[in-house]
Each structure stands twice: as C-alpha cells, then as structure tokens.
Amino acid sequence: MSRMESKILQARRLCRQLFVSSCVDEKRRGCHEALLRQRPHWSVLKKEEQMEKIDQGERIPFDITLPLPARDERSGSDAGVNLFWELFSCQRCGRCCFTPGAGLYLEKEDFERIAGHVGKKRLISLCRYDKALQAWILRQPCPFFDPEVGCEIYQIRPKTCTKYPLHPPSPDMPYHLAVDAFCPAARDLAKRTLGWWIICENHWAELLGRQEQDRAKKER
C-alpha cells in the first residue's frame, strides 16, 4: 500500500469516528452544491464516465459504494442508513425476486415466521437445506414472487429482502454503504448522490491536515 493509500484509509477510519452524523446532515442540506462551485469534483468532471460505469450493473455483478456512512453499533450512527432509506425508492420491478440465483438465506426466525404463515411442509418443499450453513435456503427465482401482485409474503418476507439492495460495505470502502448495482433504483440513487463525494473528500482533507499539524507539533 502506498503512503497516499494508507493516508486515505486512515482518514476514512477517522472520518467514521468524527463525522458520521454531521456529514449526513451536510449532505441532506445540499452543502455539496456550494463546495462544487468552489472546486469541481472528479465525480462531476467525469460524470458521463461514471454514469456508464454505474449502468454496467445491469449486466455485470458488482457493488456500488455510496457517499453515505455505513451503520455501526454506536447510537446515532445509523444516520447514513436512515438517509439511504429516505432517498431510496423501489421501482417494484421484481428483478431481485424473479432473477435466478444461488438462493436466499433464511435466518431461523425467517424460517419459523414464514412456515407459520404458509405451512412448514410447503416451505421446506421450496427450500434446500445447506449443511455447511446449517440453514434453509429459499429457491431463486423466489417462489413467493407473483408477477401480478409482487411479493406474496411481503409483510413477513425474509430479513435479507428487507435490507436489499444494501450489501455489507465493500472491502475497499469499508466505511461506506454499498448497494447492489443490479437494482435499478440503487443505480439511480448512486447517480443522484455522485456529487456528495466532495463532502467526504473535504472531510478527509481536513482530517489529514489536522494529523499533519499534530505531527509537526510533536516534532518541534
């Protein structure tokens, strides 16, 4: 890892500790507009390129990192996730439900809740048991998806479905929310929030500046 990369990683770590709530407030207020007027940002300079990359999610599986802080367990630190859900608007295309895949992991509580509703025998017939995970896996395309009405068990759907399209943060950006580029509504949100990166970079520059000052003071 180069010195610059390690500095950025360090800044992101500090960023999560110090700015997790305030940056969400700033983004909610549209502060990036003023910043962009002062200093254009790569996400805007290369807007067309960024849009094309995001659109590739329709064909190539990957995650998009959003300029919103990921949840952690400290109180008040889920502001980024909350803002994500305020902004996210599912297009109800059903792609996440009818697309073939390896299956949908059911937590024990998911299995019991859904079995209580549709019957254990029927649910088992729609799943396979994964010995390594010791869990039931719901077949994909999902048998509960009806093209006319959508999800037949929407109110009691598995936890994984309630979180989609959020994914665990990507390894190269562990402190930001990551979304599945396969979801068209997630791609739209990524496009709308591109300019927000400038707030992140502003914070990182400030943090690195502070660190440099502290180091210089110690060396004096």
Nearer to ligand SF4, 11 or 181 (CB): 181
Q: What CA–CA distance (Å, rounded) separates 92 from 169?
A: 24
Burial class (CB in 10 A: 0-12, 13-18, 19+), 11: buried
Does the protein bind ligand SF4 through residue 105 (CB under 6 A)? no
* 142: contact with ligand SF4 by CB under 6 A: yes
Size of the site for ligand SF4 (CB under 6 A): 22
3-state secondary structure of 115: helix
Alpha helices in 29-118 (DSSP H): 32-38, 42-45, 47-55, 79-87, 95-98, 108-118
Sole binder of ligand SF4 in the list 165, 166, 190, 200 (CB under 6 A): 165
Q: For ligand SF4, which stretch binds (CB under 6 A), given 65-73, 76-84, 105-113, 151-159?
A: 151-159
Give strand pairing partners of 167. 178
Beta strands in 48-161 (DSSP E): 63-69, 104-105, 127-130, 135-138, 145-146, 150-151
Candidates 24, 179, 181, 185; binder of ligand SF4 (CB under 6 A) is 185
From the list 92, 128, 163, 210, which residue makes contact with ligand SF4 (rule: CB under 6 A)? 92
- Indicate which single residue of 19, 84, 136, 164 sits in contact with ligand SF4 (rule: CB under 6 A): 164
Q: Which positions touch ligand SF4 (CB under 6 A)?
A: 90-97, 104, 142, 144-145, 151, 153, 157-158, 161, 164-165, 183-185
